[in-house]
Every structure is written in structure tokens, then in C-alpha cells.
């Protein structure tokens, strides 16, 4: 049996007259001596079909990006420039959209609604479900011209809309790479206490007394910035859910109302988080600690560890410790009777608007940008994690490399699945849990009440 993508690729081959082998050639960029491979058309065609000669692809290609202007990121800018060297008639129109989160979402949607002929969008994976629901994103999995590109990116990094098995967006180093989560460890402080990084929650609790003798707690978390509180749930819930099945399916069933947010599994997850506070694992005051203060407390030796994502590495390395400091990364500690800690996958991805302009140029560019050698060049330049594993050989920072094994068992961030209203309620309820002002059962009941209201009002994803 052939997969759907194989069938689409076969159809593309037939449409291209039977040309099946992408042809790699070299093309020197004027005056700099570099060589870059000539891209195909993304459909298995020859360079001539792809427009590898001047004039084959032409016109403006508008790209909406989030935050940073790619022209200020040398390795990313090089990809755009090299592709234009191969296709001189291409005219890039790259538009960074200011803002973050909901503000970026609003502005980017307005740009599309204005009728601008946008060819590509670089968007946070958090928005993919909503943009797909609203008919804004093309089905890349149904496009035979995207088959080779999508085949290069492992399926774990493909994201579709609600209940879809197709692909609407995927990451590359070009779009900022992929992120995961882990436990940042000051090994110098653990060495002073005669401790190793914890493998289980029980190990965490056993560290409280030895570290207290040094004036430190095992862990600090920035629960004062409430948006980081779902991280705590997404650390422990997948392990609990996986005792009986797939954790992503468990969350989908919860969103559908087949499992309640105050079920035994959810309640156990909330109780584990509460126990981190009452046992002394969490530094006192974590419920009011913001992201910047969390970093300071870690650098000052007030806590031996902090749980966060790959995005925190560079700020910690640029910080000024006031104690002996030896930064490393460890896997997340296990809940009792579990065997695998699931780090999270998050990323800014590449998507094509449903009414995209310059579709042929976009296909050819993505085929070029997804080539492992092109990905590797961006990784080397920016030290961003690529979903294409071979490209990550270019990551040379030793702490950054400690994260690489965590991608093997990582799963999609759960808060990309549930509704924004649920995410807000979880954020606030978990903060109260860390502060000790509520209990696990009450947290589950409060979140379930919000879910019921969403379903009753038709605002649930599965209404």
C-alpha cells in the first residue's frame, strides 16, 4: 500500500512528464566564490522546469514573519539571498509583524484580510489550529509539489488543524528552529551537596534537606508569570496519561469532554505539582516569581535547578552568577510508576496562506530551504535546533548539545491542543496551587467548569 504522500508524488512525476530525479548542480554567487545547489521545482522537475535559469521564477514573494526581521539574522538572510541568486527575477518582500501572541495574531490576520498577495507566513505553532479553523492556511499535505519538502521533516514536527492528519505548518531552522524543555542544573551547587540530578520526583524530594543546608532549594519556577504554569502540567500529565495510552490522545479526549479535567489522572497531576511546594522542592515564593527573577535566583544559588525551555539557555549563559556555577541540562524527573519523561516540542513554523500568491516560487523556495545542507548552514550560523536531525551536527555549544537527546521522546506542547480559555484557567489555577491557596481537586473542578461553559456556548473546539 502506498501512502497518500507517495501517491501525490507519483502524480507529480506523471504531470512533469516522468522526470523523477532532482538534479543537483552548482551555481556560483557573483563575486564571493560560494557554491550553492540549484533547487528543483519542489515536484521532482529538472532545473529548467524549476526555473533554475534566469527568468524561470519571477515576481514578488511576500513573507510575513513574527518579530525579528530576517534581514538582521545573517544565516537566515543568506538563504533568501542565495535563492534569489539562483532566481534573479524573484523579489522578496519580507514583512516582520510586530507584537507577540494575540497582538501578532491580530495584525497578521489583518494583513491577510487586506488582500495582500502573501506567499508565506512564519507563525507560532500555537496559532495553527485556529488559523486552519478559520480557513487561512493551505493544506500542504495535499499539494504534490510539497511532498519532497515534507518528507525531509519528520512527522512529529508536522502540524494540522483540529482532528486533521494532514500538514498545515512545519518548522525549519529558517523559521527559528524547534524548541524543547528540560531541567537546567547548576552542577557546582549539586556537587557541593553531594548530589546528582534527580531521576524521579522522589529524588527531588530527597534533595531538600542537603540543599537547605547550603541555603538553597532544589527548584525555582516562574509561576508569577502565569503563562509558564502550563509547563508544570505538561511535565507531569503526559507521564500519568501514558500509563494507559497515548498522552496526546488523552488530551484530545479531554477537550472532547470524554475525560473531565477533574478526572483521577488530571487530579494526580495537580497533586504532584502541589506536593512540589509543600515538600520544599519548590523555592518559597515561586508562586510570585517572574521570569527574570527566576533567572536571578538560579544564578545566585538560591535554587539548584529550574525547569524551562531551550530559549532560556542563552540568557542564563549571558548572566552573571554570584556563586560557583556550572550549567548543564538534565531530563525531566519521572513521576512514580512511569518510565519516560516527555519533553515538549514547540516552534515557529512555515505555512502557506490558503489564497497564497506565487505558489510555484514558494514551492521551489521551500524545497531549497529544506535541503539538509542548507538547513545545516543555518544551524551553524544561528545555533538553532533543526527538525532535520543531521543538520544539528552544527550545534557546537556543549550545553545546547545536551538538549539534543530530549528531542527523541518529545511531544507536541499540550497547550497547542486545548482552547485558549482553558490555557488561561490552567495558568491561573496552577499559580494558586503553587502559592498553596487551593488544592488539586478544586483546580480540576474550576478548569472543568470552564470547559463545560465552552461546550455549552459552542466555543469549544469540538462543539
Coil, strand or helix at 248:
helix
Q: What is the C-alpha separation between 78 and 291, in angstroms, rounded? A: 33
Q: What is the C-alpha separation between 45 and 57, in angstroms, rounded? A: 14
58 close to 87: Cβ distance less than 8 angstroms: yes
Q: How far apart are the first and last CA of the chain?
A: 35
Question: What is the per-residue pLDDT across 377-400, written as a single tens digit (0 to 9) for each?
Answer: 999 999 999 999 999 999 999 999
Q: At residue 182, what are phi and psi to the nearest 5 degrees?
A: -170, -175
0.95 exceeded by pTM: no
- According to the model, what pLDDT value does residue 56 have? 75
Q: What is the C-alpha separation between 247 and 411, in angstroms, rounded? A: 9
- According to the model, what pLDDT value does residue 209 have? 98
- According to the model, what pLDDT value does residue 377 have? 96
Short-list 185, 203, 330, CA closest to 276: 203
Q: What is the C-alpha separation between 282 and 287, in angstroms, rounded? A: 9
- Cα R_g (the chain), whole angstroms: 24
313 close to 183: Cβ distance less than 8 angstroms: no
Tell me the sheet residues that pair with 282. Answer: 219
User: Could you give all domains of the chain from N- to C-terminal order, each with its CATH number?
Assistant: 4-178+346-407 (3.40.190.10), 181-342+419-456 (3.40.190.10)
DSSP 83-106: HHHHSTTEEEEEEEEPS-THHHHH
Instruction: State the average pLDDT over residues 114-127.
Output: 90
Band (pLDDT 50/70/90 cuts) for residue 99 is confident
Q: What is the C-alpha separation between 168 and 203, in angstroms, rounded? A: 41
Helix (H) and strand (E) counts for the chain? 19, 13
- According to the model, what pLDDT value does residue 355 have? 86
How far CA 37 is from CA of 27, 132, 177, 368, 369, in Å, comes to: 7, 33, 22, 8, 11
Question: What is the per-residue pLDDT across 269-291, written as a single tens digit (0 to 9) for each?
Answer: 999 999 999 999 999 999 999 99
Q: Percentage of residues in the chain with pLDDT exceeding 90? A: 76
Q: At residue 198, what are phi and psi to the nearest 5 degrees?
A: -70, 140
Neighbours of 35 (CB within 10 A): 11
Amino acid at each position: 500500500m502506498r501512502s497518500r504522500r507517495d501517491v501525490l508524488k507519483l502524480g507529480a512525476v506523471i504531470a512533469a512528464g516522468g522526470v523523477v530525479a532532482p538534479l543537483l548542480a552548482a551555481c556560483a554567487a557573483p563575486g564571493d566564490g560560494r557554491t550553492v545547489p540549484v533547487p528543483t521545482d519542489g515536484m521532482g522537475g529538472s532545473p529548467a522546469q524549476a526555473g533554475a535559469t534566469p527568468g524561470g521564477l519571477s515576481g514578488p514573494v511576500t513573507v510575513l514573519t513574527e518579530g525579528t526581521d530576517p534581514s538582521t539574522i545573517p544565516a537566515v538572510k543568506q538563504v533568501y539571498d542565495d535563492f534569489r541568486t539562483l532566481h534573479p527575477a524573484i523579489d522578496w518582500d519580507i514583512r516582520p509583524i510586530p507584537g507577540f501572541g494575540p497582538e501578532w495574531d491580530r495584525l497578521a490576520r489583518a494583513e491577510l484580510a487586506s488582500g495582500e498577495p502573501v506567499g508565506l507566513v512564519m507563525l507560532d505553532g500555537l496559532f495553527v489550529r485556529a488559523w486552519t479553523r478559520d480557513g487561512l492556511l493551505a493544506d500542504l499535505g495535499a499539494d504534490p509539489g510539497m511532498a519532497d519538502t515534507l518528507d525531509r521533516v519528520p512527522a512529529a514536527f508536522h502540524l494540522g488543524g483540529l482532528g486533521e492528519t494532514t500538514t498545515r505548518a512545519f518548522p525549519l531552522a529558517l523559521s527559528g528552529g524547534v524548541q524543547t524543555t528540560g531541567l537546567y542544573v547548576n552542577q557546582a551547587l549539586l556537587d557541593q551537596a553531594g548530589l546528582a540530578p534527580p531521576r524521579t520526583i522522589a529524588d527531588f524530594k530527597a534533595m531538600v534537606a542537603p540543599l537547605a543546608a547550603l541555603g538553597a532549594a532544589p527548584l525555582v519556577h516562574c509561576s508569577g508569570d502565569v503563562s509558564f504554569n502550563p509547563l508544570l502540567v505538561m511535565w507531569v500529565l503526559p507521564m500519568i496519561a501514558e500509563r494507559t495510552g497515548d498522552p496526546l490522545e488523552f488530551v484530545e479526549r479531554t477537550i472532547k469532554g470524554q475525560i473531565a479535567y477533574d478526572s483521577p489522572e488530571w487530579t494526580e497531576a495537580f497533586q504532584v505539582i502541589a506536593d512540589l511546594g509543600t515538600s520544599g522542592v519548590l523555592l518559597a515564593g515561586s508562586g510570585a516569581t517572574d521570569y527574570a527573577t527566576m533567572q536571578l535566583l538560579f544564578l545566585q544559588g538560591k535554587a539548584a535547578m529550574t525547569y524551562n525551555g531551550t530559549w532560556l539557555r542563552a540568557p542564563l549563559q549571558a548572566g552573571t552568577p554570584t556563586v560557583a556555577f556550572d550549567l548543564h541540562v538534565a531530563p525531566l524527573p519521572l513521576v512514580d510508576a512511569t518510565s519516560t519523561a516527555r519533553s515538549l516540542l514547540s516552534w515557529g513554523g512555515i505555512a502557506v496562506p490558503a489564497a497564497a500568491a506565487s505558489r510555484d516560487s514558494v514551492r521551489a523556495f521551500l524545497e531549497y530551504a529544506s535541503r539538509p545542507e542548507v538547513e545545516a548552514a543555518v544551524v551553524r550560523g544561528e545555533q538553532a535546533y533543526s527538525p532535520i536531525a543531521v543538520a544539528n551536527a552544527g550545534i557546537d555549544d556543549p550545553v545546547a548539545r545536551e538538549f539534543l537527546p530530549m528531542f527523541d521522546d518529545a511531544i507536541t506542547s499540550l497547550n497547542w491542543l486545548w482552547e485558549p480559555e482553558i490555557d488561561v484557567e490552567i495558568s491561573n489555577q496552577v499559580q494558586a496551587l503553587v502559592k498553596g491557596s487551593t488544592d488539586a481537586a478544586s483546580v480540576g473542578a474550576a478548569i472543568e467548569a470552564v470547559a463545560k461553559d465552552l461546550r455549552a456556548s459552542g466555543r469549544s473546539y469540538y462543539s
